[in-house]
Structure 1
Amino acid sequence: MKKWMKWTVATLSIGFTVGALGACGKENAKNDGKTTIEFFSQKKEMKDTLEEIISDFEKENPDIKVKLTNVPDAGTVLKTRIASGDIPDVINSYPQNADFQEWAKAGVFEELTGKEYLTNLKEGSAETYAIEDKIYSVPLTSNAWGFFYNKDAFKELGLDIPKTWDEFETLVKDIQDKDRVPFAASINTADSWTLNGYHQLAWATVNGGFDGAEDALVRSKKGAIKVSNQDFKEVVNELSLLSGTAQKNANGATYDDAVATFAKGDALIFPNGTWALPAVKNQKPEFEIGMFAYPGLKENEELTVGAADLAVSINAKSKQKEASEKFVAYLTTKDAMQKYYDVDGSPTSVMAVETENKFPETQGVSQYVFTDKQIVWLQKEWTSEESFWHATVDYINSGDEEQLANNLNSFFDTMK
């Protein structure tokens, strides 16, 4: 799981003024005639690859040294450093999160609108995270949510990937009729994050996308989520597909249990994000893995949900802004991101990267990333998200529609 997904946004307090940033910004010394910049990364698992990319950059730019900072609990460390004014030159943060948006509005990040290197990215990818029509982040990769499935079992049983929600319901019934288990899932509070994408996509497909979902959930009046609403009825119908169709004791299963259940072939579909592929492959499944996106009510209305994973910004008060710009520009090139993509496998916005026939397992979902069939995680407009996760599994386990409506109103009313 990507660490940023689990973070619950707390009440934000920017303990400084924009004018103070210049005085507090960390100065980078020039050693041996080289300009040193600090790159703060939250991608712990990609440390070795990032060091290789940095080494390549330094060979092309012998007058610049890049210091990679990669620390435990990086998100908390970054918040502390920004609050104190000790801001790295180049920062890997998540532009879909509320803290990033507050920092950008407070003047922490350099505005990047119109930068030439943005043309190296797929059209609209940077604009997706614009704040008041201004770009402060370069989103280089993205994660995405969907359904892993056992391709060999599907072929053996004559099952097809669903193109609509009705076809998905039929698929699940067919799997059960063939005495197989449809879903490998963790339907409990501790790992409720695993079904966050499912619930968000239910609201998005029913309501026509990101804006429609937000209009129904967080932009509506207090108490507006009602059992009698048509969209609510359709959403609970989709959530109900997971009720009684997962492996035995799914309500006590952990994320790791669900991974193992799918990898052993004991269930044919595993709802989760692209980030789960390494965990599944580590179990050495004896079948071919595929993915499909969340089906819409009609054909060609399928969606995935996700957001920037490796995204970088520049400290607006950096003492080494020119060097920082050079490094960020380098990260948008094939030389840098091909090396990153070949290890990480997350869909990339850098157009020059060769992706064909690579990571075929996730292609059924990754093909939609950075297109209009991917929405950003809905918590982009929320102040927290954990209670939403809990409401999801509570409903799947209980089937209590009134309680779900009450839980959702209690959650969203605090944001209205």
Structure 2
Amino acid sequence: MTRTIRLALLASTFMAGAAAAQDVTLTVESWRNDDLQIWQETIIPAFEAANPGIKINFAPTAPAEYNAVLNSKLDAGSAGDLITCRPFDASLELFNKGQLADLTDLESMANFSDVAKSAWQTDDGSATFCVPMASVIHGFLYNKAAFEELGLEPPKTVDEFYAVLDKIKEDGTYIPMAMGTPDQWEAATMGYQNIGPTYWKGEEGRKALIDGSQKLTDEGWVEPFRQLAKWKDYLGDGFEAQTYPDSQNLFTLGRAAIYPAGSWEIGVFEPQIAGAFEMGAFAPPIVAEGDTCYISDHTDIGIGLNAASQNADAARTFLEWVGSDEFASLYANALPGFFSLNSNPVEMENAVAQEFVSWRENCEPTIRSTYQILSRGTPNLENETWNASANVINGTETPEAAAERLQEGLASWYEPQQN
């Protein structure tokens, strides 16, 4: 009897311990607050079905607030288990502070090229601290019905771009472009970084800024601001108070003809406009026929492990899955416009996403100019570029003054720019 009781107690203890070990909820920190439904309805159920006992809580923060909120949570010890990683310097800083764990030994890291991993590695490549998830491509979305109604074709050159905007404005049925400036980040991300590579010539200019052979006051860096200053006339009344969700709504409700975009909007917009109109996309305009086309094909998003997580084993299970072919296909097609960084190709089912991807065949790719190395100091070039882009569009700062301010800020701490 005693032996039976002892065995029963051991079995009970084991079962309770196993249940406790499986009773894990992992919280994901992210700035992607517009794809919450896709995580809840597609991504999370797929993982949980294969991993009973591990639950996922996707808890996003507004994009403009994410960095500050995440840093505060990490410092306070209240951040989630899984940290959605911005590329390059912002995440490298977290790793250097000991707040992101080293994930170099994950088996699924073998599924990614050195280029894909470079956005989430130390400068010497010795440690990888986030699993690569996807890149995004910048360009412009447009309302095909509006273009057909007004007899317009997607523009290829800068002159054609402004001719299209002028016709839309003259007609008056639609706001030519939907973008506001109070959140600031979109003025830089969907404005300056969208059209800028055309003028600073992509990787050539970006690398020259890093090695100090070009400055932000050079023509290739000032001209994109001059272009943004022209956008003011096409953004509609009250754009200065128009938030990012406001701009999204103007486009999806059919009130605006063009939306300066990143490909990440595709999966958000299509369910909202279904049956109302068809959406198309065009690449950042070249200056003149025959010029090289440049696109920002940006290593956008990865996911890492909070070094202070109490659920590290379960979190690593999730991260191994994120690095799998299954996740790559699921994510790229559940979130069309987020292009997998997995070395195994993913067949795109979405026509608009395929249009964005097709630009890779003819355009030179680059990443956002502020993300690698150049935002490690104070003032932070990325955040300052947000502010400068918004100011230029608002007309409160000239393109030349904005460029001069950014250059002075960068040169104040970055030695290659002090010559």
TM-score scaled by structure 2? Answer: 0.71
Give the deviation of 1:303 after TM superposition: 0.5
Give the deviation of 1:220 after TM superposition: 4.4
Q: Tell me which amino acid in the other structure corresponds to 2:201.
A: G
Whichever of the two has the greater Rg, that structure is: 2
Aligned to 2:5: none
Aligned to 1:388: 385
SS at match of 2:186: helix
Aligned to 2:235: 246
Q: Tell me which amino acid in the other structure corresponds to 1:231.
A: G
Alpha-carbon separation, structure 1, partners of 2:399 and 2:67: 36
Aligned to 2:272: 282
Higher strand share: 2
**Alignment pair present for 1:110 and 2:99:** no
Whether the aligned pair in 2 keeps the contact of 1:296 and 1:303 (CA below 8 Å) is no
Alpha-carbon separation, structure 2, partners of 1:76 and 1:251: 23
SS at match of 1:302: strand
Instruction: Tell me: CA distance 1:414–1:233, structure 2 relative to 1, closer, same or farther (3 Å).
Output: closer
Give the deviation of 1:158 after TM superposition: 4.3
Alpha-carbon separation, structure 2, partners of 1:303 and 1:79: 31
Whether the aligned pair in 2 keeps the contact of 1:96 and 1:376 (CA below 8 Å) is no
Aligned to 1:403: 401
Give the deviation of 1:34 after TM superposition: 5.0
Give the deviation of 1:176 after TM superposition: 5.0
Instruction: Tell me: CA distance 1:369–1:42, structure 2 relative to 1, closer, same or farther (3 Å).
Output: farther
User: Within 5 Å, which residues of 2 pair with 1:268-347?
Assistant: 268-277=257-266, 278=268, 281-282=271-272, 286-297=276-287, 299-304=291-296, 306-309=298-301, 311-314=302-305, 325-345=316-336, 346-347=338-339
Give the deviation of 1:242 after TM superposition: 0.9
Instruction: Tell me: CA distance 1:124–1:372, structure 2 relative to 1, closer, same or farther (3 Å).
Output: farther
Whether the aligned pair in 2 keeps the contact of 1:110 and 1:315 (CA below 8 Å) is no
Q: Tell me which amino acid in the other structure corresponds to 1:139.
A: P
Alpha-carbon separation, structure 2, partners of 1:153 and 1:178: 11
**Alignment pair present for 1:185 and 2:178:** yes
Pairwise CA RMSD: 4.1
Q: Tell me which amino acid in the other structure corresponds to 1:267.
A: A
Instruction: Tell me: CA distance 1:285–1:233, structure 2 relative to 1, closer, same or farther (3 Å).
Output: farther
Aligned to 1:195: 187
Q: Tell me which amino acid in the other structure corresponds to 1:412.
A: L
Alpha-carbon separation, structure 2, partners of 1:260 and 1:318: 37
Alpha-carbon separation, structure 2, partners of 1:397 and 1:316: 41
**Mean CA deviation greater in 123-132 or 78-87:** 78-87
Whether the aligned pair in 1 keeps the contact of 2:203 and 2:367 (CA below 8 Å) is yes
Instruction: Tell me: CA distance 1:265–1:318, structure 2 relative to 1, closer, same or farther (3 Å).
Output: closer
SS at match of 1:125: helix
Aligned to 1:162: 155
Alpha-carbon separation, structure 2, partners of 1:142 and 1:176: 33
Whether the aligned pair in 1 keeps the contact of 2:174 and 2:257 (CA below 8 Å) is yes
Alpha-carbon separation, structure 2, partners of 1:179 and 1:33: 63
Alpha-carbon separation, structure 2, partners of 1:401 and 1:316: 42
1:262-296 Cα offsets, whole Å, 9 max, x none, are 33444321113334442575366722111223234
SS at match of 1:31: helix
Whether the aligned pair in 1 keeps the contact of 2:143 and 2:277 (CA below 8 Å) is yes
Q: State the percentage of identical aligned residues.
A: 20
Alpha-carbon separation, structure 1, partners of 2:310 and 2:20: 15
Higher helix share: 2
Give the deviation of 1:413 after TM superposition: 4.2
Of 249, 259, 263 in structure 1, the residue corresponding to residue 252 of structure 2 is 263
User: Within 5 Å, which residues of 2 pair with 1:95-106?
Assistant: 95-96=86-87, 98-106=89-97
Aligned to 1:378: 370
Alpha-carbon separation, structure 2, partners of 1:366 and 1:290: 13
TM-score scaled by structure 1? Answer: 0.71
Give the deviation of 1:183 after TM superposition: 2.8
SS at match of 1:378: coil
Alpha-carbon separation, structure 2, partners of 1:192 and 1:95: 17
Instruction: Tell me: CA distance 1:131–1:167, structure 2 relative to 1, closer, same or farther (3 Å).
Output: farther
Whether the aligned pair in 2 keeps the contact of 1:147 and 1:271 (CA below 8 Å) is yes
Give the deviation of 1:219 after TM superposition: 6.1
User: Within 5 Å, which residues of 2 pair with 1:95-244?
Assistant: 95-96=86-87, 98-106=89-97, 108-112=100-104, 116-121=107-112, 124-132=115-123, 133-134=125-126, 135-173=128-166, 175-176=168-169, 183-188=176-181, 190-197=182-189, 198-210=191-203, 212-213=205-206, 215-216=208-209, 220=212, 224-226=215-217, 229-232=218-221, 234-244=223-233
Q: Tell me which amino acid in the other structure corresponds to 1:405.
A: A
Alpha-carbon separation, structure 2, partners of 1:161 and 1:307: 26
Segments of structure 2 that go 5 or more residues without pairing to the other structure are 1-15, 415-419
Segments of structure 1 that go 5 or more residues without pairing to the other structure are 1-28, 60-64
Aligned to 2:417: none
Instruction: Tell me: CA distance 1:329–1:260, structure 2 relative to 1, closer, same or farther (3 Å).
Output: closer
Alpha-carbon separation, structure 1, partners of 2:185 and 2:69: 23
Aligned to 1:62: none
SS at match of 2:294: coil
Alpha-carbon separation, structure 2, partners of 1:257 and 1:84: 33
SS at match of 1:146: strand
Whether the aligned pair in 2 keeps the contact of 1:305 and 1:375 (CA below 8 Å) is yes
Q: Tell me which amino acid in the other structure corresponds to 2:406.
A: L
**Alignment pair present for 1:41 and 2:28:** yes
